[in-house]
Amino acid sequence: ALGGLGLGLWRWQRAAMAASEEEDEEEEMLRQRFMAPPVSGLRELRQRRRELRSRMELLIMETQAEVCRALAALDPGAAFAVDTWERKEGGGGISCVLQDGEVFEKAGVNVSVVFGLLSEEAARQMRSRGKSLKAKDGKLPFCAMGVSSVIHPKNPHVPTMHFNYRYFEIEEADGTKQWWFGGGTDLTPTYLNEEDAVHFHKTLKEACDKHDLKLYPKYKKWCDDYFYIKHRGERRGIGGIFFDDVDSPSKEEVFQFVKSCAKAVVPCYIPIVKRHCHDSFTPEEKLWQQLRRGRYVEFNLVYDRGTKFGLLTPGSRIESILMSLPLTARWEYMHTPPESSKEAEILEVLRNPKDWVH
């Protein structure tokens, strides 16, 4: 009997060692897939891998790596600086930024996973959007995570692209949790290319249609309305999709939708970059690109909700929040393009959004 017990113990030890080796291999595979170790740590994520918060963190890490590698493949002379940072109040992030490449003037892909207590200013901003938040002794514990990217190419015939996918969770006074997802992907060309616009929108529509045929038209309109520069009377770009505060039909279903959208980022944009990154351009076209970037800056600093939330959150990393700003931009007094010019053509679309998929 004792011999049998010893044999059983030996088998258990062998099984435990094999399981440990398997876990180490899994960790190494994850480490190679990402740009840097996750904020929450690989072991903790593996232990909580069935929880949605962990799955979302893995998704944003994978999305960051996929996009960075796709961009680096197009600009082999440049490299991403990988900057990991910690937030004193809780959490941290990974900022990956490429600057002054041959193809990309500035490309940033950021991941952040932050938690702590929501500031009163941030809570007020959320309540203004209709959120009913019941604080305990004035405190609201929260967790927010997301991946955010802005890509500014050098060639004016390659459009700027932005995407962001995020998850937010708040614990109220009675212990109940409110959660929601937000995000989107949008394109900002300097010059209109209808083939590019159709490809971009069709790719996003396909991602939405996997879940509900009503989502693309709804989120396309939301995007056109959200990226509106009121003081200019024009959109920031030709849109895409945008959504926020989405908390139905279920956490799992919304997560799967967000995953489909994140996976559509590379196929909706990289073919456009490949098509135009070696196009010739004139000094006048480069000037127009600089002026359009000025409008991009205006929207991000005056209206963008994510920028405002970041600046209102204690311990936020300002460099990462303002990563979306281009390396160069220009403002000219009373600049108006000639009628019937290519510059006037894009302005017409920015003032009157089009349906690109029908």
DSSP string, 217-271: HHHHHHHHHHTEETTTTEESSSEEEEEEEE--S-HHHHHHHHHHHHHTHHHHHHH
Q: In which band, very low, low, confident or very high, does the pLDDT at 46 lie, cut at 50, 70 and 90?
A: confident
Using pLDDT thresholds of 50, 70 and 90, give the confidence band for residue 133. low
Q: Does domain 32-115+144-351 have CATH number 3.40.50.300?
A: no
Least confident of 84-88, 191-195, 332-336, 351-355: 84-88
- pTM for the model stands at 0.88
More confident residue, 177 or 159: 159
The yes-or-no answer on residue 162 being catalytic is: yes
Which residues contact residue 345 at a Cβ distance below 8 angstroms, ignoring those fewer than 6 apart? 191, 192
The mean-pLDDT minimum among 248-252, 310-314, 336-340 falls in 310-314
- Residue 77 pLDDT > 90, yes or no? no
Structural domain spans, the chain: 32-115+144-351
Going by pLDDT thresholds of 50, 70 and 90, the confidence category of residue 178 is confident
Q: Which residue has the higher pLDDT, 318 or 202?
A: 202
Percent with pLDDT over 90 in the chain: 69
From the candidates 152, 157, 162, 201, give the one annotated as an active-site residue.
162
Question: Mean pLDDT throughout 36-44?
Answer: 88
Average pLDDT over residues 183-188: 98
* 256-291: pLDDT as tens digits: 999 999 999 999 999 999 999 999 999 999 999 999
Q: Hey, is 99 helix, strand or coil?
A: strand
278: CB partners within 8 A, 6+ apart: 155
Per-residue confidence (pLDDT) for residue 21, from 0 to 100: 61
Q: What is the mean pLDDT of the chain?
A: 89
More confident residue, 12 or 293: 293
- Return left, alpha or beta for 235; rule: phi > 0 is left, psi -120 to 50 is alpha, else beta: beta
Compute the distance between CA of residue 262 and CA of residue 204 in angstroms, rounded to an integer. 10
Q: How far apart are CA 135 and CA 143, in angstroms?
A: 15
> Alpha-carbon distance 309 to 238, whole Å?
24
Number of neighbouring beta carbons within 10 Å of residue 202: 14
pLDDT at 116: 86
- Does 337 have pLDDT greater than 60? yes
Alpha-carbon distance of 181 to 254, in angstroms, equals 7
At 215, is the pLDDT very low, low, confident or very high (cuts 50, 70, 90)?
very high
Question: 126 or 309: whose pLDDT is higher?
Answer: 309
Question: Cα–Cα distance between 210 and 119 in angstroms, integer?
Answer: 37
Question: Which whole-number Å values give the CA distances from 258 to 17, 29, 65, 103, 334, in the listed order?
Answer: 37, 24, 17, 29, 41
Q: Work out the burial of residue 294: count CB atoms within 10 Å of its CB; fewer than 13 is exposed, 13-18 middle, 19 or more buried.
A: middle
Q: Report which of 136, 95, 139, 145 is spatially closest to residue 115, judged by C-alpha positions.
A: 145
Supply the pLDDT for residue 268: 98
CA distance 86 to 63: 20
**Can you tell me the distance from the alpha carbon of 69 to that of 74, in angstroms, rounded to the nearest whole number?**
9
How sure is the predictor about 2, in pLDDT bands with cuts at 50, 70 and 90?
low
Give the C-alpha separation, 147 to 108, whole Å.
10
Task: Return d(Cα 157, Cα 177) in angstroms, integer.
Answer: 46
Strand (E) or helix (H) holding 305: helix 305-312
**CA Rg, the chain, in Å?**
23
Structure tokens, 21: 């080796």
